[in-house]
Structure 1
Amino acid sequence: MRTQSKWSPGPGIKVLSVVSNGDGDWVVSACGPSSGICPDCRQQSGSRHGWSYRSLQDLPIQGNEVTVWLQLSRWRCTYRQCGRKTFTDRVPAIASPYARRTTRVADIVGLLGHSTGGRPGERLMRRLGMSISDDTILRHLKRNASRVGDEAPARIVGIDDWSWRKSWRYGTIIVDLERRKVMDILEGRSVVSVAQWLKRHPSIEIVSRDRCGLYVQAAREGAPQASQVADRFHLIQNLRLAIEEQMSLSGRATGRALLPDEDIETDHDDRALHEQAPETPWRNQLRRAHRQSRKEVFETVHALSKEGLTCSEIARRTGYGRRSIAKWLTFETLPDRRRGALQPTSPLYFEAFLTQCWKDGNRRGRHLFHDIKNRGYTGSFSNLERLLATWRRAEKPGEDHVAPFPSVFVGETPDNAPVRDPHTGHLISPVVAATLCIKPRGALTINQARKVDALKQRSQTFAVLRSFSMRFRGIFHSRTSAKLEDWIEDAIHSGLAFLARFARVLRRDIDAVCNAIDLPWSNGQAEGQINRLKTIKRAMYGRAGPERLRARMMPIKSADLHTK
């Protein structure tokens, strides 16, 4: 039984011969149709004017490259009123005009380039028997990204930022939350650029964003018709940070809890000034209080060691690290703390010069910033202003430099005693306490539940904060924003400074927060796309520019976009 298989690169193409060259690659000779159709007048013509040849790269055969040597005709248009005199055969089913590879190869190039990038795609294509350079792959990617935009208009978008370089330069990503696709990537993060993009898309009805004021203003200017939705995850995280700051004021897990109450308050202000105030008797008193605190901890550690306790047991009782305790036991007297070397990024690096200028009457921040900038200062103006602000406050007569930070209800005694883990005996840090405070009882492990019970028994502040956090989570789970206003009012009048500040900020963005409760949309999809973007950026060793990242992040189109 004989079987005859017919193969053709495309419709209307006749294969003339298939030969193998000396390197093991194959060359397929083919010719086009016997007549052509004019692209202008659509009249069929059989009058041949000449020939043209195209060399197309095709799919491999058993790992060997295949080249299609295609002979096409050039025809004369026989319709006298047509403005075109001659035309060449078009074979869109095989390859686009002027392309150097067939449609199916171009689709594979686009798919691998979009998934792997330039050089990995080049290595994989060579291994598959289709040699192509990384520059061609990237050029194909960029061409595809520039032609994307024929989809249906987006209604619901999520906007978030991502960092080119942390704390230095940021970009903006815009995601279609309904289709779960990246719509665009902007090189910068500014109100103008985001507002202009939103104006070019008037069909947008809902904008989901985090609590960054920049995107709030951009959405108001670029899409005033759209409703804004605050991201629920960021709302919970903002509450957690407020709880952490509040818990940091009561019961710190440091040796400063061994001091009397008045010394604790004094040492707290020493931290608040960040060691940037000029030398004053009041500042010396703060330093003495801090040294006294370290001395008492040092003596406590040595006293426990003399009782025969091991370093591990002392660590469990005091909450300090075992290595720190072992190091302190090697000293007979308390060692002095080492101060880190100052760098040109700190204004204290130029403290002598700034002090002299201050005494001479030159106290304008911009003038001093310009002077130390010429002397090698690489820090920011705001950092210098913080230092000068402490100097100005120190010179005001009769002003109390201690900032009142209430930690519990007004009229109560502050619960400064640190709370220990009932299982390990370690001090519970404010970070752990804040994380447990927003976690519901059903999601707690056995050890976490014990910590929560210990915190509620020993800390009145924690008990109140947990009550507020559970109410806040309940509002989101119930999908009823009507209860939010009562929660904000109670939080403002709770006497907890940081919780009240969080509630006041919520009230300024009340519409977006209510939409976050009532509507199902959030910025989770945008956060996931940012993780994907960072993965791609790191895989390209940080060399990916805005155009290349946009090409890899945008959805791929493989129908009619091919590489030359």
Structure 2
Amino acid sequence: MDKASVTKVCIDDFAMKKRYTYGTVMVDIESKNIIDILDSRDLEDVAKWLKTYPNLKIISRDGSITYASAIREAHPNAIQVNDRFHLLKNLIDYCKSHITKTINFKIPIEQLVNNDDKIKKPLTKMNKEDRIKEVQKLNKDGFSPHQISEALKMDIRTVKKYIEFVINEVSSIVKDVPQLKHEETVSKKEKSINEVRKLHEQGHTIRAISRETGLARKTIQRYLDPNVLVVHAAYGTQRNSILTPFHSLIDELLEKGFTFKEIEENIREKGYSGSASTIRMYTTRKRRLIKQILQSAKSRKETVDRQHLIKLLYKPLEKVKEISLEQLKAVLEKNPILSEIYDIVKSFKEILSNKDPDRLDNWIEKAKSLNLPDVNKFIKGITRDIDSVRNSITYTYSNGLAEGSVNKIKVIKRIMYGRCNFETLRRKVLTFEKLRKTN
């Protein structure tokens, strides 16, 4: 290869043995081929390696200070371009770190006013079909899944599932979880019975059928009986406990504020002869339920998950369905610094996409004024490497080719597992690149 003809490259490191030994890959930006790989990422070795390519004009890299120093030593006049993806990722990671450290996992906010006007409270006697229709109606009215979940006291996953149901198919879909499990069990058993009988009709012995299906021979004999029941005889029956006849009385006494001891004395007078622990378990569960109902009736709060606020660092609000504009405003009112964080991330994205390096200095000053330790670390990093950061905004070059080549090298390493010394790996990688180029 004519090394003097190479002028624009991107470089990146890769692991020979993770956390122990690393190498460096060089990719030609114009031909998009791997030019060379080095069994080191140390400053002296990389600088010496780069000097063997005398005419390098543009070198794209990640934020590594070692690579920056090696390039300056080998080619002081070369243009270094920092990778835009890594810049943005680092900023978002630092902002995410600050949010995680300073904001609780769930942020309580005042319940939105329009929830009281339009969203009904859960009805204890509402059947599943009615709940699905209620969820879909509220979703159509513009309420987010989280608002519906809070108002109807339903799990967010259930709300999302109900939203996806087709209205005219709701009736056929509505089934309780135990019923669905029962139907699945019956279907599986029916399939096994049919398979056993079919094999028996084909002349297979019980022993052979057992080997084929993995079923016990006694089970096979039972399945061959024409009177065998697919549905278990006990299905649909429910055993009552000794306390069951007194449930309504206990509920009534609890509502009147009777203590556990008073409830026990009362129902024993009525003929209860069971243990006190059975009464205690039932009354404890019932009291907990009553307490939850009272709390939900008095509560004027709803919560926003921190993970949804973190998603807003990556996506605009309209693409994060779990949080509404009203909820976001309520959170920002309590945590105004969040608004500043979103603003600096958004403006940095605009600087990168609009190719406007002149705005970078103002952005740095604004980000510094927030005085956030995590953001200050990012500012310190880009200030130390400011020329390459400006070049990343000005030029279109990126480190994507090197990142993709690292993945390719990893695949080749795995194929060569057990016989992969560096020289063999280097020859194989460069041979593949030569074949790809000729094809």
Give the TM-score normalised by the residue count of structure 1: 0.41
Report the RMSD for the aligned CA atoms in angstroms.
3.3
Q: Tell me how far apart the structure 1 counterparts of residues 286 and 421 of structure 2 sit (CA, whole Å).
A: 59
User: Does 2:29 correspond to 1:177?
Assistant: yes
Q: Tell me how far apart the structure 2 counterparts of residues 419 and 163 of structure 1 sit (CA, whole Å).
A: 47
Name the aligned partner's letter for residue 246 of structure 1: H
**Corresponding residue for residue 335 of structure 2:** 459
**Corresponding residue for residue 249 of structure 1:** 101
Q: 200, 204, 211: which is aligned to 2:63?
A: 211
Report how far residue 217 of structure 1 moved.
0.7
**Corresponding residue for residue 426 of structure 2:** 550
Change (3 A) 1:168 1:478: same
Q: 161, 170, 187: which is aligned to 2:39?
A: 187
The alignment partner of 2:23 has SS state of: strand
Contact 1:175 1:184 in 2 (8 A): yes
Q: 503, 506, 512: which is aligned to 2:379?
A: 503
**Corresponding residue for residue 17 of structure 2:** 165
Contact 1:481 1:517 in 2 (8 A): yes
The alignment partner of 1:447 has SS state of: coil
Report how far residue 467 of structure 1 moved.
0.6
**Corresponding residue for residue 474 of structure 1:** 350
**Corresponding residue for residue 412 of structure 2:** 536
**Corresponding residue for residue 346 of structure 1:** none
Q: Deviations over 1:375-399 (max 9, x none)?
A: xxxxxxxxxxxxxxxxxxxxxxxxx
The runs of 4+ residues in structure 1 deviating greater than 6 Å are none
Report how far residue 448 of structure 1 moved.
5.7
Q: 289, 292, 295: which is aligned to 1:308?
A: 289
Q: Deviations over 1:189-216 (max 9, x none)?
A: 1011110111111110011111111101
Report how far residue 497 of structure 1 moved.
2.3
Name the aligned partner's letter for residue 205 of structure 1: K
Q: Tell me how far apart the structure 2 counterparts of residues 507 and 305 of structure 1 sit (CA, whole Å).
A: 62
**Corresponding residue for residue 391 of structure 2:** 515
Contact 2:311 2:320 in 1 (8 A): no
Contact 1:436 1:448 in 2 (8 A): no
Name the aligned partner's letter for residue 94 of structure 2: A
Report how far residue 253 of structure 1 moved.
2.3
**Corresponding residue for residue 486 of structure 1:** 362
More helix by share: 2
Count of matched residue positions in the alignment of Structure 1 and Structure 2: 252
Report how far residue 304 of structure 1 moved.
9.7
The alignment partner of 2:393 has SS state of: helix
User: Does 2:54 correspond to 1:202?
Assistant: yes
The alignment partner of 2:55 has SS state of: coil
Change (3 A) 1:419 1:233: farther
Q: Flag structure 2 segments of 5+ consecutive residues without an equivalent.
A: 108-283, 294-300
Name the aligned partner's letter for residue 187 of structure 1: D
Q: Deviations over 1:222-248 (max 9, x none)?
A: 111201111111101110121022112
Name the aligned partner's letter for residue 533 of structure 1: I
Q: Tell me how far apart the structure 2 counterparts of residues 308 and 530 of structure 1 sit (CA, whole Å).
A: 57
Q: Tell me how far apart the structure 2 counterparts of residues 212 and 305 of structure 1 sit (CA, whole Å).
A: 61
Q: Tell me how far apart the structure 1 counterparts of residues 394 and 64 of structure 2 sit (CA, whole Å).
A: 20
Contact 2:3 2:54 in 1 (8 A): no
Change (3 A) 1:528 1:305: farther
Name the aligned partner's letter for residue 541 of structure 1: Y
Name the aligned partner's letter for residue 12 of structure 2: D
Q: Tell me how far apart the structure 2 counterparts of residues 479 and 494 of structure 1 sit (CA, whole Å).
A: 24
Contact 1:229 1:522 in 2 (8 A): yes
Report how far residue 151 of structure 1 moved.
6.9
Q: Flag structure 1 segments of 5+ consecutive residues without an equivalent.
A: 1-148, 256-302, 314-417, 422-426, 559-564
Change (3 A) 1:441 1:304: farther
Map 1:99-498 to 2 at 5 A: 149-150=1-2, 153-253=5-105, 307-308=288-289, 420-421=303-304, 427-429=305-307, 433-441=309-317, 444-447=319-322, 455-498=331-374
Contact 1:240 1:435 in 2 (8 A): no
Q: Tell me how far apart the structure 1 counterparts of residues 42 and 15 of structure 2 sit (CA, whole Å).
A: 13
Change (3 A) 1:151 1:188: closer
Q: Identity over aligned residues, as a percent?
A: 33
Change (3 A) 1:491 1:547: same
Contact 1:230 1:522 in 2 (8 A): yes
Contact 2:106 2:303 in 1 (8 A): no
Report how far residue 453 of structure 1 moved.
5.5
Q: Quick one: higher RCO (CA 8 Å, sep 6+), 1 or 2?
A: 2
Contact 1:208 1:230 in 2 (8 A): yes
**Corresponding residue for residue 111 of structure 1:** none
Q: Tell me how far apart the structure 2 counterparts of residues 208 and 476 of structure 1 sit (CA, whole Å).
A: 16
Q: Tell me how far apart the structure 1 counterparts of residues 399 and 434 of structure 2 sit (CA, whole Å).
A: 26
Change (3 A) 1:254 1:440: closer
**Corresponding residue for residue 402 of structure 2:** 526
Report how far residue 543 of structure 1 moved.
3.6
**Corresponding residue for residue 81 of structure 1:** none
Change (3 A) 1:201 1:463: same
Contact 2:34 2:433 in 1 (8 A): no
Q: Deviations over 1:444-497 (max 9, x none)?
A: 242366675665344222211001100000101110100000000111122222
Name the aligned partner's letter for residue 428 of structure 1: R
Report how far residue 163 of structure 1 moved.
1.2
Q: Deviations over 1:129-148 (max 9, x none)?
A: xxxxxxxxxxxxxxxxxxxx
The alignment partner of 1:517 has SS state of: helix
Contact 1:420 1:428 in 2 (8 A): no
Report how far residue 531 of structure 1 moved.
0.9
Name the aligned partner's letter for residue 395 of structure 2: L
Change (3 A) 1:254 1:467: closer
Q: Tell me how far apart the structure 1 counterparts of residues 426 and 401 of structure 2 sit (CA, whole Å).
A: 17
Report how far residue 254 of structure 1 moved.
8.5
Contact 2:3 2:53 in 1 (8 A): no
Report how far residue 535 of structure 1 moved.
1.4
Name the aligned partner's letter for residue 164 of structure 1: M
Q: Tell me how far apart the structure 1 counterparts of residues 61 and 386 of structure 2 sit (CA, whole Å).
A: 14
Name the aligned partner's letter for residue 425 of structure 2: L
The alignment partner of 1:229 has SS state of: strand
The alignment partner of 1:249 has SS state of: helix
Q: Deviations over 1:105-137 (max 9, x none)?
A: xxxxxxxxxxxxxxxxxxxxxxxxxxxxxxxxx
Q: Tell me how far apart the structure 1 counterparts of residues 84 and 402 of structure 2 sit (CA, whole Å).
A: 13
Give the TM-score normalised by the residue count of structure 2: 0.52
